[in-house]
Amino acid sequence: MATVQTPAAAPAAPAASAPSTAPPQTSSNGANGNRPKRPNPNPNSSSNRNWKQKKTKREKNITEGSSEEVLRHDIEALLASRKSETSGEEATTTTTDAQEEATEEETLPAEGTETEVEVLELSSTGDGLAMRPGSDQVYVVPFTVPGDVARVKVFRHLRREKQTVADFVSVVKPSPLRDDARIQCKYFASCGGCQFQMLDYAEQLRRKRAIVDKAFRNFANLPAELVPAVLDTVGSPLQYGYRTKLTPHFDGPPGFRPHRQELQGVENLPPYTVRAESEFGIDIKTCETDSKATTHEYIRDHHFTNPAGSFFQNNNSILPIFTDYIKQHVLPPASPSSSSSSSSSSPSSEIKYLIDAYSGSGLFTITLASVFQHSTGIDIAADSIASARQNAALNGLGEDRCKFIAADAGQLFKSVEYNPDQTTVILDPPRKGCDADFLGQLRRFGPRRVVYVSCNVHTQARDVGVLVRGEGDGRRYEIESLRGFDFFPQTGHVEGVAVLNRVEE
């Protein structure tokens, strides 16, 4: 039984009344004037020229790869493409200094007023990028898709960035891509958790492939020939009702604190329960509000327990597909010549060991243990290591098959005695990605193969670029494949998997 978890202070009933599709991190989307945590604009102040979109709590420690930087790249690309389209006309037009100055001081709609814009592109943040006729100001509008003509409410102009932050009001003329009959959540466009419910799911997956592609073009700092074509995004079996953990951003009534026994012992489906069907069976997701309670997750034949408040992947419907893919790619593909000779000489047979960096509660260490002679999970969090050891025992794995180490961040590979020529390393860092010190340690250890899993494909692209360029001490790598997984349907979020091989020099 999978478990939906909510904070103790939050009322559970509203959270379970509609499927939740909010991603682990959202841009500052909102609608009808409901954008959260914005400073009150002062129309008479010039300080708005220096205003920047606030980073979410999860992004405060992210430099490269933040939503703000991703959005900036997408706006610059749109402006460059528009300039290229009109360059022929500009070449035959004489522009005076006065005209240029007038263009720079373009009159924009007053903040707080409404205007109509045409949506030209989707940002990797999930926001529509729109413009008004004859203007080079880009309006960032949530809940829109290319081809929409939308009515928006202007929130803030950022003239230096040629960017206007706006709230979605209504669709004046729908795009051929838009079908509002697809929307299944009554909170869509008032909750900022998802952006794509009006899009066909196949189109969502195509957009997410483009997000991965742009991430590596904008953040990897690599020549195009070193980056392979991004493979098609793998879809989620459940496109609604898939979440196993959520955090409602509202307070319950004074003194409200539901008790676990109130949610149990009811025939059929108890209150605060969601029933979800997929190709892997039926999930009954019940609400757990105690962050210290034990929750259970099942991935094929593997069983995991975790404290409810700890991290575990939030879409268990895709986890069997996802872990199967990692298992299929954790070893190098067998060369054609090895198929007719002894398997002991194939590249895959030469790898015997796994290091699961950022191992958490042991998802990859445990699901991949059957592939390797021995595996080691490493994490700096002692409580995660304790959970991983419990999960290993729960799945019948002793220390002769895998072990877990709570390591100091600066010496993550110190306690590992594996031969790097026979080792694969799996990385699954937080959204900020890997820091320079860790990447240096990894390159100096020099494993034969690296599988990098990431919930932020932009910081992943940055880090993969470091491994491929191979500057300074340590080994360098080449990219074998790039692919996205749709852990959060209806949102602009995509999980990335990059497979790399050590360059033999």
Annotated binding site: 313, 358, 379, 428
What is the number of other CB atoms lying within 10 angstroms of the CB of residue 145?
22
Cα separation of 169 and 33, whole Å? 8
Q: What is the dihedral of CA 165, 167, 171, 174, to 10 degrees?
A: 40
The vertex-277 CA angle with 276 and 281, nearest 5°, equals: 120
Place of tokens 């409200």: 256
The H-assigned helical ranges of 220-291 are: none
361, 384 contact by CB (below 8 A)? yes
Cα separation of 122 and 26, whole Å? 15
Q: How far from 287 is each of 7, 171, 243, 315, 385, CA to CA, in Å?
A: 10, 36, 12, 15, 26
Cα separation of 234 and 196, whole Å? 17
Cα separation of 208 and 231, whole Å? 11
One-letter amino acid of 279: E
Cα separation of 498 and 477, whole Å? 12
Cross-strand partners of 478: 501
Which entry of 191, 287, 402, 455 is annotated as an active-site residue? 455
Q: How far from 269 is each of 101, 275, 277, 294, CA to CA, in Å?
A: 66, 8, 14, 20
> Which residues are documented as binding site for S-adenosyl-L-methionine?
313, 358, 379, 428
Cα separation of 274 and 19, whole Å? 8
**Strand bridging mode 149-158 / 163-173:** antiparallel
Which tokens go with 6?
């909510």
Per DSSP, the three-state class of 152 is strand
One-letter amino acid of 242: Y
Cα separation of 461 and 471, whole Å? 16
Residue whose C-alpha is closest to residue 244's, from 197, 276, 271: 276
Q: How far from 262 is each of 147, 243, 259, 292, CA to CA, in Å?
A: 49, 22, 5, 17
Per DSSP, the three-state class of 191 is strand
Q: How far from 486 is each of 109, 418, 464, CA to CA, in Å?
A: 38, 34, 20
Residue 394 contacts by C-beta under 8 Å, 6 or more apart in sequence? 303, 304, 305
The torsion region of residue 159 among left (phi > 0), alpha (psi -120 to 50) and beta comes to alpha
- Annotated active-site residue 185? The verdict is no
DSSP 8-state symbol, 504: P
Catalytic annotation, residues = 455
